[in-house]
């Protein structure tokens, strides 16, 4: 018997997993415990032909029983195949290899641009972040799933201080003018809600509220004006099947205890 109580990080994993389709190929970078769990649980439930590459390790379809913290951990290499990092970079550059790229940032703006570089001016930052690693590949990926464990008005802001992971740039005109191979940001998953992007304005839109969260709470925690539909559904709770798969992937509760 699986305990039915779930954590918010587990719900976030389920929201991501539901967005993944059978046969797709996904890739993720560092500190990606939730996306890794989402991919692996999807393989065990509705998407047995999903493939995913665990960041810098180059591992293709890690078995991840159990899940580990580090994207470059050798445990990832208990996998179907493994690529040297330069090969992963080839795949990321190709433009048609990845259906899904998981991204995030210190800041995420209304158009889904991400920033892993700094808060404030680059020359004189109030906070120096770690650096952007592979996020510049976002415009060459099928679609981008953005996630953050901090839904607040400092993280979700109107415009990133530094664009290190392009989303819809300055909005629909600038995006369209670039004619990029990727389809841009598609989904944002936070501890409060799931969001997508308005087709016309390319501005982030509330998609579903996690159980117990209100629209006001989301609005207050967001640093820009979200698109709010007339009726916003509640994010479905994890099903028994989802929880079973998730806890098989993550028996030690790495995701479960993350938030």
Partner 1 sequence: MERTSKVMPVSQAIQRFMPDTCDTLAVGGMHMHNNPMALIREVIRQQKKVKRLVTSPSACINADLMIGSGLVEEILTAYVGFEHLGLAPNFRKAVEKKTIKLLEADEPFLVYGLQAGAGGLPFIPYPKGLELTDIPKVNPDLYRFTTDPYTGEEVMTAAPIKPSVALIHCQEADPYGNAIFKGSEFTDRQMIFASDVVILQVETIVPNLAEKYGSTKVNVPGFLISAVVEAPFGCHPTSSHGYYTFDEAHLKSYLKSCKNPEAYGEYFQQYVTGISEKEYSGKIGLDKLNAMRQKGDVSFYD
Residues 120-139 that bind partner 1 (CB under 8 A): 122-123, 125-137, 139
CB under 8 Å to 41, separation ≥6 — which residues?
13, 14, 17, 242, 245, 246, 248, 249
Pattern of binders to partner 1 over 40-79, x per CB under 8 A?
-----xxxxx-x-x--xxxxx--------xxxxxxx-xxx
Asked if residue 211 lies in contact with residue 187, where contact means CB atoms within 8 angstroms, the answer is no
Q: How far is the CB of 223 from partner 1 (least distance, A)?
A: 19
Nearer to partner 1, 111 or 218 (CB): 111
Pattern of binders to partner 1 over 177-216, x per CB under 8 A?
-x-xxx----------------------------------
Q: How far is the CB of 158 from partner 1 (least distance, A)?
A: 16
**Options 86, 199, 216, 231; binder of partner 1; rule CB under 8 A:** 86
Q: How far is the CB of 206 from partner 1 (least distance, A)?
A: 26
Q: How far is the CB of 89 from partner 1 (least distance, A)?
A: 5
| Residues in binding contact with partner 1, number by CB under 8 A | 72
Residue from 65, 62, 89 nearest 247 by CA: 65
**Cα–Cα distances in Å, from 84 out to 42, 87, 130?**
25, 5, 23
- Looking at the DSSP bridge assignments, the partners of residue 101 are 27, 144
- The residue written with tokens 């976030």 in the block is 12
Contacts to partner 1 from residues 136-175, by CB under 8 A: 136-137, 139-140, 162-166, 169
Q: How far is the CB of 230 from partner 1 (least distance, A)?
A: 34
Strand, coil or helix: 130 = coil
Q: How far is the CB of 204 from partner 1 (least distance, A)?
A: 19
**Options 21, 85, 234, 240; binder of partner 1; rule CB under 8 A:** 85
CB under 8 Å to 247, separation ≥6 — which residues?
2, 256
Distance between CA atoms of 208 and 215, rounded to whole angstroms? 9
Strand, coil or helix: 64 = coil
Residue 250 contacts partner 1 per CB under 8 A: no
């Amino acid at each position: 018997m699986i305990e039915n109580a779930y954590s918010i990080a587990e719900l976030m994993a389920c929201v991501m997993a539901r967005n993944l389709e059978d046969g797709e190929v996904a890739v993720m970078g560092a500190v990606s415990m939730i996306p890794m769990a989402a991919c692996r649980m999807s393989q065990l439930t509705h998407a047995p032909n999903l493939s995913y590459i665990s960041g810098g390790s180059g591992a293709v379809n890690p078995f991840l029983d159990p899940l580990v913290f580090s994207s470059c951990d050798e445990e990832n290499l208990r996998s179907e195949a493994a690529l040297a990092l330069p090969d992963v970079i080839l795949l990321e550059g190709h433009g048609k290899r990845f259906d899904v790229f998981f991204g995030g940032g210190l800041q995420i703006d209304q158009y889904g641009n991400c920033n892993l570089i700094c808060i404030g001016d680059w020359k004189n930052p109030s906070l120096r972040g770690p650096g952007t690693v592979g996020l510049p590949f976002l415009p060459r990926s099928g679609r981008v799933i953005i996630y953050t464990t901090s839904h607040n008005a400092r993280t979700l802001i109107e415009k990133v201080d530094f664009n290190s992971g392009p989303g819809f740039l300055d909005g629909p005109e600038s995006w369209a003018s670039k004619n990029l191979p990727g389809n841009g940001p598609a989904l944002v998953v936070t501890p409060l809600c799931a969001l997508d992007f308005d087709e016309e304005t390319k501005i982030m839109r509330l998609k579903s509220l996690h159980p117990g969260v209100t629209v006001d709470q989301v609005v207050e925690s967001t640093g820009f004006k979200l698109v709010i539909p007339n009726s916003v559904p509640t994010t479905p709770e994890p099903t028994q099947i989802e929880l079973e798969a998730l806890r098989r992937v993550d028996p030690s509760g790495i995701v479960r205890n993350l938030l």
